[in-house]
């Protein structure tokens, strides 16, 4: 199975200190403009940026409940 993530960033994002360094930061930055656009496509399944952001938030909440004192997960 092929997995891919479509991202759209400025070409100078690597030199921009405010540019996202992690995938979740990139998704959060793109959600307002691309909420209903495809973010992840796997065969016939598609998640929009909004759906991906919602699932990521739920996962982060669950991890936080399971390991509230963990310094880094």
How does pLDDT run across 45-54, given as a tens digit for each residue?
999 999 999 9
What is the reported pLDDT for 2?
46
> Could you give the CA distance from residue 72 to residue 15 in angstroms, rounded to a whole number?
26
How does pLDDT run across 12-50, given as a tens digit for each residue?
455 677 777 888 888 888 999 999 999 999 999 999 999
SS (H, E, C) the chain: CCCEECCCCCCCCCCCCCCCCCHHHHHHHHHHHHCCCEEEEECCEEEEHHHHHHHHHHHHHHHHHHCCCCCCC
HSE-up (13 A, CA, CB side) for residue 7: 15
């Amino acid at each position: 199975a092929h997995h891919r993530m479509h991202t759209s960033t400025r070409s100078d994002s690597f030199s921009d200190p405010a540019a996202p360094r992690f995938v979740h930061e990139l998704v959060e930055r793109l959600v307002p403009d691309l909420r209903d656009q495809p973010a992840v496509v796997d065969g016939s399944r598609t998640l929009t940026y909004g759906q991906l952001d919602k699932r990521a938030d739920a996962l982060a909440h669950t991890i936080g409940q399971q390991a509230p004192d963990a310094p880094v997960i």
